[in-house]
Amino acid sequence: MLHRTLGRTGIQVSPYALGTLMFASSMGNTPDESARILHRALDAGINLIDTADAYADSEEIVGRALAGRRDEVVLATKFGRPTGPGPNQQGASRRWIVSAVEASLRRLRTDYIDLYQLHRPDPATDMEETLAALTDLISSGKVRAIGASGTSASTIVDAQWIAERRGLARFHTEQPVYSLLNRGIEREILPTLQRFGMGALVWGPLGQGLLTGRVRKNHDNDLRRSGLLRHVDDEHRLDVVERLIPLAADAGLPLTHLAMAFTIAHPGVTSALIGVRTEAHLDALLAGLDVTLTDDILDQIDEIVPPGTDIGVLDQAVQPPPLLDAALRRRPWPTRSVTDQKQAA
């Protein structure tokens, strides 16, 4: 398997990375089943393993499964999402980062983390504080490189400038969503990452299951009934899938291979995170690792999904606070009494 450089870190990683959200016991697999999937991925040449402290017991399962094989792996985890009921058991403050990294190291059964990532932007914490705390972790040897996830282009730039001005470690990677159905990052995120020499570890390359070919328009199936695909009622996304299926068939490819090959074809993408439930699902994806799409196929994809556009709404996409809270995007009315208003009239 050919490897790619992770940003400007010099770390070499595989074009497919194994995401371990599905390893959480609450997802249905036993720890032994998850360990077999992880070992199968390592044996196939995947060397980047991504988890998070918010993925229930995923870190613990990964830590046990890596016994004896830790040196083979570029191990990535994330912090920032709530992991407890307390208001300070989340976020990007120095206080929480220092606690969170120790807990992750313990669960992962390792002395260091190759890539430590801010899971979601924290508007309540100054970026300088976050970068200063992460810089100290690098200096201590507990962390090798740092990254972020779900960050806007303007915040990526801001973080790079703060790091340069203050002499702090800078983010080496970003985790945005990217797939045949979600190409919005081609507009600003990917060019910004390329400008600063950052690696892109993209998630959702199979469109949260819509690009498996198992979900079809006007078809009932187990995935719909299970509730695992919460966005299958988005008819626009399903319409696009129906146009991509014959394109893949004409190219002699399963839809999953077309989707994965498209995702890692962009020069700004370092690795695509795959999350699987079974060894069979992993093997099916690995079978398409060497697929390269011709310019003709890529041009046809552009006609179906124009570059830089998102089709429909991704329910897990990060939304800036002003888009979620109306009070943050509206000026308050002047606080005058009804009598004052009548007099003014």
Residue-level pLDDT at 308? 96
SS3 breakdown of the chain: % helix, strand, coil, rounded to 5? 45, 15, 40
Segment 61-84, tens digit of pLDDT: 999 999 999 999 999 999 999 999
Phi, psi at 31, each rounded to 5°: -55, -35
* Residue count (the chain): 345
d(C-alpha 26, C-alpha 51), whole Å: 15
Residue-level pLDDT at 219? 65
Residue-level pLDDT at 233? 53
The CATH number, out of the four listed (3.40.640.10, 3.40.1190.20, 3.40.47.10, 3.20.20.100), of the domain defined by the range 4-315: 3.20.20.100
Residue-level pLDDT at 184? 95
Q: Is 55 an active-site residue?
A: yes
Q: How many CB atoms lie within 10 A of CB 218?
A: 7
For the chain, residues with pLDDT lower than 70 are: 218-234, 314-317, 334-345
Strands 74-79 and 48-50, how do they pair? parallel
Asked whether 279 and 40 are in contact (CB, 8 A), the reply is yes
Residue-level pLDDT at 61? 98
Asked whether 260 and 291 are in contact (CB, 8 A), the reply is yes
Which residues, at least 6 apart from 53, have a Cβ–Cβ distance to it below 8 Å?
Answer: 59, 77, 78, 79, 81, 83, 100, 103, 104, 107
Q: Which is the catalytic residue, given 16, 55, 116, 178? A: 55
Asked whether 231 and 237 are in contact (CB, 8 A), the reply is yes
Residue-level pLDDT at 336? 58
d(C-alpha 246, C-alpha 170), whole Å: 44
Which helix (H) or strand (E) is 13 found in, with range?
strand 12-13
d(C-alpha 105, C-alpha 211), whole Å: 35
Phi, psi at 235, each rounded to 5°: -65, -35
Question: SS3 for 234?
Answer: coil
Q: Which long-range contacts (CB under 8 A, 24 or more apart) does 107-111 make?
A: 107/53, 107/59, 107/60, 107/63, 108/51, 108/59, 108/60, 108/62, 108/63, 108/66, 108/75, 108/77, 109/63, 109/64, 109/66, 109/67, 109/70, 110/63, 110/66, 110/70, 110/75, 111/141, 111/142
